[in-house]
Structures are given as structure tokens and as C-alpha cells.
Amino acid sequence: MAAAVPRLMNFQGRLTDTVGSPVADGAHVVIFRFFTASSGGTLLWEETQNVTTSKGIFSVLLGGVDSLPPYVFAADSCFLELEPQGSSPLTPRSKIATVPYAFHAQSADLLSGMAASDFASTGYVDNAMAEHLAASDPHHSKTINAADLIIGTLDKARLPKHAIDSSNIVDASLTSQQILDAPGISHTSDALVSLPSAMRIIDSAYMIVPAWGYVLVIASGWFYDYHTSGLETHATLSISASRSMHDNSYTAKFDVATNAPAGHTSQDFAIQRVLTVGPGPVKFFLLGNMVGTELPNVQSVHLNTLFFPKSYGEIDAVLK
């Protein structure tokens, strides 16, 4: 049995100030990001961690907060960017070399996503076909049914219209799970994530959809703030197809006024959105930021996506 591939990557770095001297020993907040290019490019993943430095040197396991997905190292190129709290992103980005690309070697355990045991031997198929052709009863024991076919081996475009109807299918040979393999993703994080004034990606979902259809995206969780009298905060979360801009039609708000009672304040949130998508990769973001003098947080975030093909029916634009 193949061992699971750890979703962690060891990284060691050195933090210095603007004149090149090591930062003070202790804890520092750093945002780590993977991109597809040395500048610009597509954001593949990010997380925020507290690192502890000694003479500027620190060591961290990336993926300890948000697990590293396999597609990060399946890209042709991958570059790591660091952004210490209160500073701009460090340049240049570091290009990731051979060892982390072992994440992608996980696919070597599978054949196009299937284990070797999923493939029927040619001898079994030849014997079943010979007995099938020789038998007079179309429902005899050697009928080849859905369980004998590997998902994806029959392309519906190669079948004549109406070539298969209910009379061609053995009773109970097809289950609802074999009719459509529609993707869905669910993320859950208990990490306490602060909302700065600059736009921040709280979570993201990447999926590959097989056909034209719709993706239902649902985000939920809690706003949290330890309020100090005289300060205020106005926080916004949204579901967006952009990594840097709110979609104001799909937001959740959290407001704490200056005269609110001091102490802990929390509020649950839930956002849902339906987007039209075409075949191929798609990515959605849960974005957040704040305006005010007090830094709020979000916690217990759940991000769920579910794909529905257009063959299920059209969704009215009002619902989107």
C-alpha cells in the first residue's frame, strides 16, 4: 500500500532589517506565498505563521496552517515569496527546486488517478465477451455491466443517439454514483486570522470542473474582536473570483463602534454565491479586510464548493 504524501515542506530563512542586520530574536509574523512566476504570476497558495528567530535565522514547516495542495508543485515553475508583518514582500522570490516537487510524485502511485487494481485483465474481458456472444439469454451471469467498466472509458460522443436505452441496461447495474462524478471541495480551519486594512486572502478553493455548469460557494465562520473603548472597526468578507477585489454583492459585514462595551465581541457570518463556470480549472477566494482603528479576526472558517452541470438544468440569473 502506498504511503500518504505529507502536506508539509521544511523551509529555513533569515530575517534582516533594512540595513541587512538580523532582526531582534523572538517571534515574528510572516506570510508565505507560492506563485507561478518570479514576479507577478498566479498565486497558488499562502499562509501566515509565527516564526521564532535566533540571530535572524528561523525554520518553519510550510503547510502547518493550510495544507499544501498537490497542484502547487505540479506547476511548471514555483516561486516562494515572504512578507514579514509591517513590511513589503521580500524580493526576489526564491525558486523551488527538486525536493518539494516530490509532492507531484504522488501521482506515480496511480495510473491517471486509478490504482492498478481498477483495471480488468484482458483475459477476463475476452472470456466474458466470448460467453456473452454464445449465450441466448441477454441477462446471463457473464453480462458486462457498469461495475466491469472503468469510469471514463466510454465517451458519450462516440455513441449514436438513442443507442442505449433502459432495455440495454441490466437491472441494478448502475448506481447514482456511477452516473456523474461531480467535484466538490470542503475546507475547515480553526486558525485565528487577523483582518488588516489591506486585502487579505482568508481561504481559497481550487477545482477542475468537467463541463459547463455552476459552482455553489458557501463560506461561514465567526468574526471575533477584543474591543477597547474608543477604538472602532468595520470588517468586510466576500466570496470573489478575484484575489484582490471584493465583490460587493456577496459580502458579510462586522462593525464595532467606539462606544461599544469593552471586551470580547463575536458575530457569525455566512455567505453563499453561485457562479457560472466552463470546463477546466477554477479558483475562488474568501477575501477580508477592515477599516478602522482596531484589528478584528475571523475564526472557525468553513469554505465549501460544489459543482452542478448544466445538464441538471439552468439556474436563473436572479439566484446568481
Condensed to tens digits (0 to 9), the pLDDT of residues 81-114 reads 999 998 899 999 999 875 655 555 555 555 555 6
Contact 284, 204 (CB under 8 A): yes
CB 291 within 8 A of CB 270: no
Distances (CA, A) of 150 to 111, 147, 248: 12, 8, 44
Domain boundaries, the chain: 9-109, 123-179, 184-319
Strand order in the sheet with 251-256: 200-209, 280-292, 233-240, 251-256
**Half-sphere exposure for 307 (CA within 13 Å, toward CB):** 25
Q: Do domains 9-109 and 184-319 have the same CATH topology?
A: no
Mean pLDDT of 202-210: 86
The one-letter amino acid code at 161 reads: K
What does the mean pLDDT of the chain come to?
79
The CATH number that domain 184-319 falls under is: 2.60.120.760
pLDDT for residue 226 is more than 80: yes
Positive/negative CA dihedral, 289, 297, 219, 37: positive
Q: Which CATH class is domain 9-109?
A: mainly beta
Rg, C-alpha atoms of the chain: 26
Place of cell 460587493: 248
- Nearest 5°: the CA angle 125, 131, 134 is 140
